[in-house]
Chains A and B, each alone.
Chain A
């Protein structure tokens, strides 16, 4: 089955830029989606179709996808961005939906 690999944690100071990676075999050929989950809350879709922001998501959230790595970038990080972030793809070979293990983003 398809595996997505994320770093367990990425630290960032307020105002700086956070980059969260998601690794997978030829992930650039798949459509990657990103979710933000704050403590005690349901996940929230922040990026879909590799780079697109759903309505209401700040422009500070952007993403890219190429080769074996997809990256979520959060610019001018705020305290409110502190959350767990998950990448997700659909594996057409197994017809299963796959999540990465998640990355915790503490804002120091």
Chain B
């Protein structure tokens, strides 16, 4: 059974930093791309960032480029999102999602809340 468990969220001041983690199990982690998708309160889904399985190529939404860094540790089956220069509009529930070959997201974690506020 595929499981994705996010951690590391919380309250941070504007301009601050936070690092999210996603522990994966139930599949061959290194074989699949992984992503972060966020959802602001009462809003829709927004893709944030993705990273390929073996080569580690990274991709970012324009809204976070230069501020967020995605990475992975295939030896520990863990995905990360380093967030810097956080803004109020980054407040959201952040989901870890497994990428499928069709560029869809076939499994999702339950999400972790990030609140940016003074």
Task: Using CB atoms and an 8 Å cutoff, list the residues of chain A in contact with chain B.
Answer: 1, 31, 33, 35, 37, 42-45, 48-49, 54, 84, 86, 88-90, 95-102
The answer to whether B59 and A42 have CB atoms under 8 Å apart is no
CB contacts (< 8 Å) of A88 on chain B: these are 45, 47, 104-105
Task: Using CB atoms and an 8 Å cutoff, list the residues of chain B in contact with chain A.
Answer: 35, 37, 44-47, 50, 59, 61-62, 95, 100, 102-111
CB contacts (< 8 Å) of B61 on chain A: these are 96
The answer to whether A43 and B110 have CB atoms under 8 Å apart is no
The answer to whether A42 and B111 have CB atoms under 8 Å apart is yes
The answer to whether A98 and B47 have CB atoms under 8 Å apart is yes
Q: A31 vs B102: C-alpha distance in the bound complex, in angstroms?
A: 8
Q: Which residue of B lies closest to A99 (CB)?
A: B45
Per DSSP, chain B at the interface is strand
The answer to whether A42 and B47 have CB atoms under 8 Å apart is no
The answer to whether A99 and B44 have CB atoms under 8 Å apart is yes
CB contacts (< 8 Å) of A48 on chain B: these are 100, 102, 104, 106
- With contacts A49-B104, A95-B59 known, what are 7 further pairs, Cβ within 8 A? A31-B104, A37-B45, A42-B95, A43-B105, A45-B106, A96-B59, A100-B44
The answer to whether B104 and A86 have CB atoms under 8 Å apart is no
Q: A49 vs B100: C-alpha distance in the bound complex, in angstroms?
A: 11
Q: How far is the CB of B24 from chain A (nearest CB, A)?
A: 14
Q: From B46, B50, B102, name the one whose CB has the most chain A CB atoms within 10 angstroms.
A: B102
Q: A100 vs B44: C-alpha distance in the bound complex, in angstroms?
A: 8
CB contacts (< 8 Å) of B100 on chain A: these are 48
Q: How far is the CB of A15 from chain B (nearest CB, A)?
A: 28
Q: A42-B95, A96-B61 are in contact. Are A49 and B46 (CB under 8 A)?
A: no
Taking a contact as CB atoms closer than 8 A, the residue among A45, A98, A100, A102 that contacts B105 in the complex is: A45
Q: A95-B59, A96-B59 are in contact. Are A33 and B45 (CB under 8 A)?
A: no
